[in-house]
Structure 1
């Protein structure tokens, strides 16, 4: 099984504006919690509110880490297109399509009225990496996958599919 093309899609560093927004949210949330906690006199209620507040902050932190550290590895072989998602050290194959099952590969701008359920395997807008929609058959159903890759990877995929 010879590898025809391989591409890694990594999320770029967090922007200054996003970091500023996160800091404002954290400071605002902390100030609101402090104002609310100072008005409570019952220590049990204060403890419960503190634990709930901590769980909310940790959950938000873990969710943001998930989106910041997501990496997609795309691989084209002579008979299959595969996408693996990596988050920290967890690795999972999220898409496997036989090359013969691919119907269309369109730029995202041309794919407004595509049939079938859409799965998204893209990250934020990146320089040199455009978004495309792959339409394919899966067990007799038409499905779609939104991917993001360079022009060279796209051309290799189109040649392999013979579109």
Structure 2
């Protein structure tokens, strides 16, 4: 085995440094490739959608309760759908003040086990917290849009 350094070794060292930085930034979570290594190409998508909703799912006797922290969004900016066994949450907030524009986007999807009673799904949005009650039983439909109270 040849132990001489090549001009390209610096790139390997840089990649190791970036991997360490990404692990530090994402706290052991975040985009990974199929080999469970950090994949820098997936960072822009992860950053664009924020992954900052602090989503939690709790199983109950009646089904599931899903909580998502979405401060700063208006109720009309949140889209909530149940389709094909998945609960989809997406929200977009855009602000334009003359010369500058900013936007914030959140997208989350949760797989719901069991047969969901889509007509009985209830959602509320208060004080920046989206709370969704997803009841389950033996009857299910395929797709349904959910209104937020």
The structure that is helix-richer by fraction is 1
Larger Rg: 1
Same fold by TM-score greater than 0.5: no
Q: TM-score, normalised by structure 2?
A: 0.32
